[in-house]
Amino acid sequence: MTGTLKVACVQVNAGPEIAPNLEAAGTLVRRARDAGADLIALPENVSMVVQGRAKVLERARPQDSHPAVPFFADLARETGATILAGSIAVLLEDGRIANRSLLFDPSGRLVATYDKIHMFDVDLPNGESYRESATFRPGERAVVAPVAAPGGRAGLGMTICYDVRFAYLYRALAKAGADILAVPAAFTVPTGQAHWHLLLRARAVETGCFVIAPAQTGTHDGGRRTYGHSLIVAPWGEILADAGEDVGIITADLDLALVDEARRMVPALRHDRSFEGPVPLAAELRQAGE
């Protein structure tokens, strides 16, 4: 694909109440559109960041009655931009929550949704502990969605935050037609400092895709802190824009021809081979001792 697509990542500091979060996000989306962005991406949990299962369940809504859905649909229609609402908490029929990303085209039509597949169940060295699986139902489907681009449509691979640690997902998205990989996130500070830039650049290099990663930043409900540093990364791994720690926007012009160029130079997506799995080490050691 050829042509240049101007993209923006919106970096926010969302609180526990939906209405003021949407208002703040809308202001930044309009600023991004005024800067010329045609594809505008927002972070994970863009409509609220709350600490604790009870608070999430209290504020989550079914998709058909969630206030963020008409808000971003109207905003896309108003601005004439494609908008990726990084994720919202959608209440499901079984009482659990989907961490769901939504893509709206410039007419305001909801064209794709993606539910976060990988759950962040970790205990960090600084004492922070997270159990997403206690509240959220993991998704089961990878999604590549079309987005308007010069000369046609580009493929947008939709992922969310912790997904970035699972390289096989991004390889599958690239093979299914993704030119751009979206990683809206609310990364913790310790893991962000250690791994955020590294992981996003690796996903770009491995797939030959652009990566856009809008992020939450600052201190939130219950003292939770997020890393910020929304990034836009080129297919060869260069960082095109980094938002640092402040609320705001970053933009970059994506030369879509660079996707094919990177894949020509290192055609790794065509070099997969099947192989036999290794013998588990414990079993191997047991056999050696017999």
Angle CA 63–90–117, to nearest 5: 120
pLDDT at 290: 46
Give the tokens for residue 121. 């169940």
Ramachandran angles phi, psi of 82, nearest 5°: -80, 130
Residue in this structure with the two tokens 């079914």, named with its chain if needed: 62
Strand 225-227 and strand 143-149: the pairing is unpaired
Kindly report the number of other CB atoms within 10 A of residue 104's CB atom: 23
6 is annotated as an active-site residue = no
Q: Kind and range of the H or E element at 33?
A: helix 18-34
Of 9, 44, 132, 209, the active-site residue reads 44
Ramachandran angles phi, psi of 285, nearest 5°: -65, -35
55 is annotated as an active-site residue = no
Of 6, 116, 132, 209, the active-site residue reads 116
DSSP state of 216: B
Strand 152-158 and strand 143-149: the pairing is antiparallel
Ramachandran angles phi, psi of 136, nearest 5°: -105, 145
Provide the residue count of the chain.
Answer: 290
Q: Which residues have C-beta within 8 Å of that of residue 156, sequence separation ≥ 6?
A: 39, 84, 103, 112, 144, 145, 146, 147, 178, 179, 180, 181, 182
161 is annotated as an active-site residue = yes
Kindly report the number of other CB atoms within 10 A of residue 187's CB atom: 26
Q: In what order do the strands lie in the sheet with 180-182?
A: 143-149, 152-158, 180-182, 210-213, 231-233, 239-242
Strand 231-233 and strand 239-242: the pairing is antiparallel
In the chain, what are the helix, strand and coil shares in percent, each to the nearest 5?
A: 35, 30, 35
The SS3 assignment for 267 reads: coil
pLDDT at 127: 67
pLDDT at 72: 98
Burial environment of residue 130 by CB neighbours within 10 A (0 to 12, 13 to 18, 19 or more): middle
Return d(Cα 261, Cα 267) in angstroms, integer. 10
**Domain containing residue 190:** 4-288
pLDDT at 289: 54
- Residues lower than pLDDT 70 in the chain: 1, 127-129, 283-290
Of 161, 175, 206, 290, the active-site residue reads 161
Q: The CATH number of the domain where 277 resides is what?
A: 3.60.110.10
pLDDT at 252: 98
Residue in this structure with the two tokens 């709350």, named with its chain if needed: 50
Tally of domains in the chain: 1
Q: What is the pLDDT of residues 228-280, one digit of tens each?
A: 999 999 999 999 999 999 999 999 999 999 999 999 999 999 999 999 998 88
Q: Which residues have C-beta within 8 Å of that of residue 77, sequence separation ≥ 6?
A: 106, 107, 108
pLDDT at 238: 98
pLDDT at 1: 67
| pTM for this entry | 0.94
pLDDT at 178: 98
DSSP state of 277: P
pLDDT at 135: 86
